[in-house]
Amino acid sequence: MRNVAMLGGGMTRFAKYEDRGLKDLSHEAVNEALKAAGIDKSALNIAIVGNAAAGLVTGQECIRAQVILRSMGIDKIPMVNTENACASSSTALQVAWLYVASGMYDVALALGVEKMYTPDKGKAMATFSAGVDLEELRAIMEQLKPPSEQKAGAESGAGKSRSLFMDIYAAGARAHMAKYGTTKEQYAKIASKNHNNGSLNPHAQYRERYTVAEILASPLIAEPLTRLMCAPIGDGAAAAVLASEDVVRRYTSDPVWIRGTALVSGSDTRSTDDDGTGGRAAHEALKMAGMAIDDINVMEVHDASAPAELLLYEDLGLCKPGEGGRLIDEGVTEIGGRVPVNTSGGLLAKGHPVGATGCAQAFEIWLQLKGLAGERQVKGAKTGMTHNGGGMVRGEAAATTVHVFSV
């Protein structure tokens, strides 16, 4: 295997766009990534495109990569469409890495794009629910409702007007509170941190700062989740250009390297209550990188809800089980703390157009390691990590990726 660098990245601002589609969003992200990489599109050898749900939302069920990229004059090169729900483009990134690391190609494009916003709110919600086994869906929805709603029946309005995944996250958050005494305020602190970070990121969907009290006072989605603790629906694209060690010096003298990459799927026979895929993926990726979790200076993790980030502190090994609350209380994961998490604003504030998220996370780490993160720069960051989770089957992630970067 050869070493592979992330030569550049780019993204659109994540937002609800009334007039922008897959092509338009992608073109902006790809052009930004090429520009950041200092490379022309003619230098690309292969493109891997991650998208989760364009078939549902836009009707473009097949060959999304080719439709998008050929419309901007990228043709002839091999293109692979990858999908792993919310981890679609971090999966694309691994596959692109593999085509380069293996020696098959020298320069690869990974692109993630998602169009979720539509006036048809049911359709946008269906996008989230697409990430589960449809045959399990009804049973899961009943099981995961907060106790106060269970009497209302499976078809209650409340159950249908929010994402299934928020019910899943809420159930996990309640279990953690019961087991470890974690508080709703601690979850709110994570949301406040990420919204504050997002206010410093020009690509973030939400750029407002919120206090813990404001997070707690926002409308309840599913106990203990308030609206500001949940990632929004939005559109966007993000791209990364990868290059082999054999060609990278043509383009830059200080590359950001992809040191480790892991993709795992959940288990049907896990022995704990927590989704352990993050820990497994981190273990594998860090092993490949020859690093330990304590070596990581900055991290983007899959905070589709604020409690998810807290649980991930423990799953990824930033602290012991049950100590996630303490970690946020002590400010360890704030910008300026020992290991800032979600400096971009995370999914909560930067937004979460699902197929775009993986590449957007990589872009944030690339910015940090290049020293280009502006007001949210982590001083002296030399190493970074992304964690991205996608879909769910029988209560555990369908696809979880961890990628490790260093200068």
Which one of 3-11, 52-60, 145-153, 217-225 is the stretch in contact with a copy of itself (CB under 8 A)? 52-60
Instruction: Check binding of 58 to a copy of itself (CB under 8 A).
Output: yes
Site string for a copy of itself, 5-34 (x = CB under 8 A): ------------------------------
Question: Would residue 195 show up in a list of annotated catalytic residues for this protein?
Answer: no
Q: Measured from the CB atom, is 17 or 99 closer to a copy of itself? A: 99
Give the residue, chosen from 266, 340, 346, 358, that forms a contact with a copy of itself under the rule CB under 8 A.
266
Which one of 248-256, 258-266, 298-306, 361-369 is the stretch in contact with a copy of itself (CB under 8 A)? 258-266
CA 50, CA 85: separation in Å to the nearest integer? 9
Instruction: Check binding of 390 to a copy of itself (CB under 8 A).
Output: yes
| Smallest separation, CB 311 to a copy of itself (Å) | 20
Q: Measured from the CB atom, is 130 or 369 closer to a copy of itself? A: 130
Q: Measured from the CB atom, is 369 or 392 closer to a copy of itself? A: 392
Which one of 47-55, 166-174, 229-237, 306-314 is the stretch in contact with a copy of itself (CB under 8 A)? 47-55
Instruction: Check binding of 375 to a copy of itself (CB under 8 A).
Output: no
| Tokens 């999908």 found at | 83
| Smallest separation, CB 46 to a copy of itself (Å) | 8
Pairing between β-strand 46-50 and β-strand 220-222 as defined by DSSP bridges: unpaired
Span 60-99, contacts to a copy of itself by CB under 8 A = 60-64, 66-67, 70-71, 73, 75-85, 91, 95, 98-99
Say which residues have a Cβ less than 8 Å from residue 297's Cβ, sequence separation at least 6: 339, 340, 368, 378, 380, 381, 382, 383, 384
Give the residue, chosen from 231, 398, 402, 404, that forms a contact with a copy of itself under the rule CB under 8 A.
398
Question: Would residue 319 show up in a list of annotated catalytic residues for this protein?
Answer: no
Instruction: Check binding of 264 to a copy of itself (CB under 8 A).
Output: yes
Burial class (CB within 10 angstroms; exposed 0-12, middle 13-18, buried 19+) of 149: middle
Question: Which one of the listed residues 27, 195, 352, 403 is annotated catalytic?
Answer: 352
Which one of 54-62, 143-151, 303-311, 333-341 is the stretch in contact with a copy of itself (CB under 8 A)? 54-62
CA 376, CA 200: separation in Å to the nearest integer? 6
Pairing between β-strand 236-244 and β-strand 107-114 as defined by DSSP bridges: antiparallel
Q: Are 264 and 277 in contact (CB under 8 A)?
A: yes
Q: Are 6 and 241 in contact (CB under 8 A)?
A: yes
Instruction: Check binding of 389 to a copy of itself (CB under 8 A).
Output: no
Burial class (CB within 10 angstroms; exposed 0-12, middle 13-18, buried 19+) of 70: middle
Q: Measured from the CB atom, is 62 or 213 closer to a copy of itself? A: 62
Sheet strand arrangement including 298-300: 46-50, 107-114, 236-244, 4-11, 256-264, 396-406, 383-393, 298-300
Q: Are 403 and 257 in contact (CB under 8 A)?
A: no
Q: Are 401 and 358 in contact (CB under 8 A)?
A: yes
Say which residues have a Cβ less than 8 Å from residue 93's Cβ, sequence separation at least 6: 48, 50, 110, 240, 242, 261, 358, 359, 362, 401, 403
CA 224, CA 219: separation in Å to the nearest integer? 11
Instruction: Check binding of 168 to a copy of itself (CB under 8 A).
Output: no
Instruction: Check binding of 102 to a copy of itself (CB under 8 A).
Output: yes
Question: Which one of the listed residues 86, 230, 319, 359 is annotated catalytic?
Answer: 86
CA 261, CA 281: separation in Å to the nearest integer? 8
Instruction: Check binding of 371 to a copy of itself (CB under 8 A).
Output: no
Site string for a copy of itself, 114-133 (x = CB under 8 A): -------------x--xxxx
Say which residues have a Cβ less than 8 Å from residue 265's Cβ, sequence separation at least 6: 277, 397, 398, 399, 400
| Smallest separation, CB 366 to a copy of itself (Å) | 23
| Tokens 């305020």 found at | 185
**DSSP structure class, residue 230:** B
Catalytic residue numbers? 86, 352
Residues making contact with a copy of itself (CB under 8 A)? 1, 52-53, 55-56, 58-64, 66-67, 70-71, 73, 75-85, 91, 95, 98-99, 101-104, 127, 130-135, 262-269, 390-391, 393-394, 398-399
